[in-house]
Chain A
């Protein structure tokens, strides 16, 4: 069977420096793969190149067996970029942002049932009632959920997410974990960039760890470094706040140990 993502020898240069080199990555249909690594190891750059948002210098990237380009079945791919906010200069409602996800390379006009699909996607992430609310009035976590709904609105077979839970409030993190387990149960392939496995660790089947722009590990999700996992280890997360006792199962911070 054709792999969903097949990258060989990928090399990416940004602003004169090589950010990624000799990247080989294959994701089979139905797999849930986490892309881990310290800040600056090239995780975001890799997923952005995989979905064609960044140009590659060398190597070959195939999605669903088609080389990156207009021929790729883009309607089967949902991408959630790393964002602090979904709001821009002109006000837009959550529904409008989600409806922009109904377009792809073979569809430049909004489909007739766009609004119904947007409502459905927003309902999946628990924001069905916010469809006509301006995005700028939503919280950071809710805005992130709007961006997830924008990726879900086209019923993707491959979901690519860049740090979807970074800086997101706990209710949004929980909603996100639930949505992801429903999707993976349906056989959706997931490639997710994470800083820590956290709430998603039960779902992750395989982890790819990047270090200095190359793959350092590809296989079972790694165990956290002892000094990070111990109960006495103090985690300072700028956004997550404390781990409340009743929440320890959902946000157990299992940072893997590649900080240099």
Chain B
């Protein structure tokens, strides 16, 4: 019975394309997300997403001026271009360090949304025309979209996984990377560009407003479970694929928005893992006693027995 249902889902060409797109996006988004979390730029994806909206509207405007059909044929190229320009702008601001990255991101958020809404009305559309881009429209993935997604995913994975030691180095400690003679600026730009490409790839699946969730939440879950960079990235990719494919499949039977379902699913997993981890930790404490969080190093102050007796109840252990 359930196999029949699954079989009919998998034989639906529309669903086949959608599932494949979800799989590719679930695989690539956490790769770049890992670097963004490491450089404490978790919200960068959101900033790029907002700018991409302006790109969508701009593509739409150009399309309608050139009398192209359908009017939004240039929307995705527009989004790619705007996202790349936006992410390079953020990277420049970050490198100069004049405005804090935080403020730069805020400016992009507001500018992107306002620009998008303003331009779409000029193009003869309404804000409703933007809904498909804001919240995703995976059920309308065409063969061409799929090819584009495939190529962009290939690029993201080649750069993001292939250069991972170098990208780890610049994200981990930029000063050291410079002192190693690494092409820091080129690597930073590579991260910015693959972030922009990922946003536009993921746009179809979860929509611009939720793009960042797909980059960041799997990494946040993986962080709870691992202690190494390599494994964080691998686990995040596995989680990304799982939530994208499962979330999309759910919407085949239940009437729900795919993007929102995927993100809610991911956040639910985060909550379950976080609670499960603290329960496990609590059980470990019951079994083995509370571990001393302070590493075992020799004390660098000498205390006489008398001092120790006086101070011990109030004294914080562990020196520094």
Contacts and interface: CB of A to CB of B under 8 A. Distances in A.
A93 B173 CA distance: 14
Interface string A220-257: 00000000000000000001111011000000000000
A91 B229 contact: yes
B300 A241 contact: yes
B228 A92 contact: yes
A89 B173 CA distance: 11
A103 B182 contact: yes
A120 interface: no
B229 A93 contact: yes
Nearest to A170: B300
Chain B: number of interface residues, binned into ranges: 35 or more
A240 B300 contact: yes
Contacts of B171: 88
B176 A81 contact: yes
Contact of B229 (A92, A104, A141, A239): A92
Interface string B183-199: 10000000000000000
B312 interface: no
Interface string B138-179: 000000000000000000000000110110110111011111
Given A92-B228, A132-B228, A170-B300, A52 B178 contact: yes
B303 to A, nearest CB: 9
A61 B172 CA distance: 26
A142 B320 CA distance: 13
Interface of A: 48, 51-53, 70, 72, 74, 77, 79, 81, 83, 86, 88-93, 96-97, 99-106, 108-110, 114, 132-134, 137-142, 147, 150, 160, 167, 169-172, 239-242, 244-245
B300 A70 contact: no
Contacts of A241: 299-301, 319
Contact of A105 (B168, B181, B298, B320): B181
B302 interface: yes
B320 A104 contact: no
Interface string B14-45: 00000000000000000000100111100000
Contacts of A132: 227-228
B70 interface: no
13 contacts: A53-B175, A88-B171, A89-B37, A91-B227, A92-B172, A93-B227, A97-B172, A108-B165, A137-B227, A139-B297, A169-B320, A171-B298, A239-B320
A138 B183 CA distance: 30
Contact of A103 (B38, B165, B297): B165
B298 A170 contact: yes
With a 10 A CB-CB cut-off, give which of B177, B181, B223 has the most chain A CB atoms.
B181
Contacts of A88: 38-40, 171-173
Contacts of A106: 181
A167 B320 contact: yes
A90 B169 CA distance: 12
Contacts of A108: 163, 165-166, 182-183
A30 B229 CA distance: 37
With a 10 A CB-CB cut-off, give which of B162, B183, B227 has the most chain A CB atoms.
B227
Contacts of A147: 176
Given A96-B168, A100-B172, A140 B179 contact: no
With a 10 A CB-CB cut-off, give which of B295, B300, B319 has the most chain A CB atoms.
B300
Contact of B295 (A70, A81, A139, A245): A139
